[in-house]
């Protein structure tokens, strides 16, 4: 049995487990699911695995998520806009601008509020990202890196705003552009910038953390623009 097949079977089993849990609770008035942390503890998997399973179940219409309120079984009301609805009108530039406004401040807050355990987690993810051998692995750890910073900021609402922007980012069709951006030599440079961010957070230097993320965001934009000389970073 191949590793990919085993992984797919684990994913399917996790999704089936969550759906079974929702079916057992179908007769209750409360339609909200437990938190990602509680689900991870219940199914003995990582929060990342839970998050991916919830994303797939949301795509199937088995559940829906509301920023700041939680995850709910069933389909979202037709009248309520989804992240996908908003993402349909977004370009890469829109995503970049939103991240540029939000993520430097998240890092600054993390420098002030992160616990030692959270800093250790950010450092560990940073190392895994730098050691990634291919683009797919790099993307997984890159997302985990920025999420860990958001979760360490000490502000649940700000962390949820990160999730909203991140979900919209994942709906954008980047095409071959993203693969070109994440060539090995560029991944190595981005990883060095990640280390600068981590160092600033670990030193509790809020300004340096803010500046390090801002520099990282600007480098990403410049890299995209270099792939399309003469074109603005909007598509």
SS (H, E, C) 45-57: CCHHHHHHHHHHH
Domain residue extents for the chain:
3-80, 84-227
The b/e string for 74-111 (b: 16+ C-beta within 10 A; e otherwise) is: eeeeeeeeebeeebeebebebbbbbbbebbbbbbbbbb
Give me the count of residues in the chain. Answer: 235
pLDDT in tens, the chain (235 residues): 555 554 677 788 888 888 888 887 665 545 778 888 889 899 998 888 888 888 888 878 788 776 666 787 776 654 455 555 566 667 778 888 999 999 999 999 999 999 999 999 999 999 999 999 888 888 889 999 999 999 999 999 999 899 888 888 876 655 556 666 778 888 899 999 999 999 999 999 999 999 999 999 999 888 877 766 655 454 3
Question: Which CATH class name applies to 84-227?
Answer: mainly alpha
Rounded Cα gap, residues 39 and 219, in angstroms: 37
* Cβ partners under 8 Å of residue 112, min gap 6: 154, 204, 206
| pLDDT for res 215 | 96
The predicted structure's pLDDT at residue 217: 92
Instruction: Give pLDDT, residue 145.
Output: 96
- CATH architecture, range 3-80: Orthogonal Bundle (1.10)
pTM as predicted: 0.65
DSSP characters over 140-187: HHHHHHHHHHHHTSS-HHHHHHHHHHHHHHHHS--THHHHHHT-HHHH
């Amino acid at each position: 049995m191949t590793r990919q097949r085993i992984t797919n079977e684990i994913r399917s089993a996790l999704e089936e487990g969550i759906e079974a849990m929702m079916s057992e609770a179908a007769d209750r008035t409360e339609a909200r699911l437990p938190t990602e942390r509680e689900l991870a503890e219940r199914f003995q998997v990582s929060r990342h695995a839970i998050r991916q399973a919830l994303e797939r179940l949301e795509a199937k219409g088995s559940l829906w998520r509301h920023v700041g309120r939680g995850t709910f079984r069933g389909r979202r009301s037709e009248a309520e806009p989804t992240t996908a609805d908003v993402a349909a009108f977004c370009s890469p530039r829109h995503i970049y601008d939103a991240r540029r406004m939000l993520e430097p401040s998240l890092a600054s807050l993390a420098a002030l509020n992160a616990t030692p355990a959270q800093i250790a987690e950010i450092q560990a993810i940073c190392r895994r990202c730098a050691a990634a051998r291919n683009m797919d692995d790099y993307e997984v750890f890159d997302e985990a890196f920025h999420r860990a910073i958001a979760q360490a900021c000490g502000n649940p609402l700000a962390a949820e705003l990160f999730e909203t922007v991140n979900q919209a980012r994942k709906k954008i069709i980047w095409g071959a552009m993203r693969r070109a951006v994440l060539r090995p030599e560029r991944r190595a440079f981005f990883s060095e910038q990640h280390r600068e961010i981590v160092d600033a957070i670990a030193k509790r230097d809020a300004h340096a953390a803010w500046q390090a993320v801002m520099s990282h965001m600007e480098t990403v934009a410049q890299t995209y623009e270099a792939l399309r000389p003469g074109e603005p970073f909007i598509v």
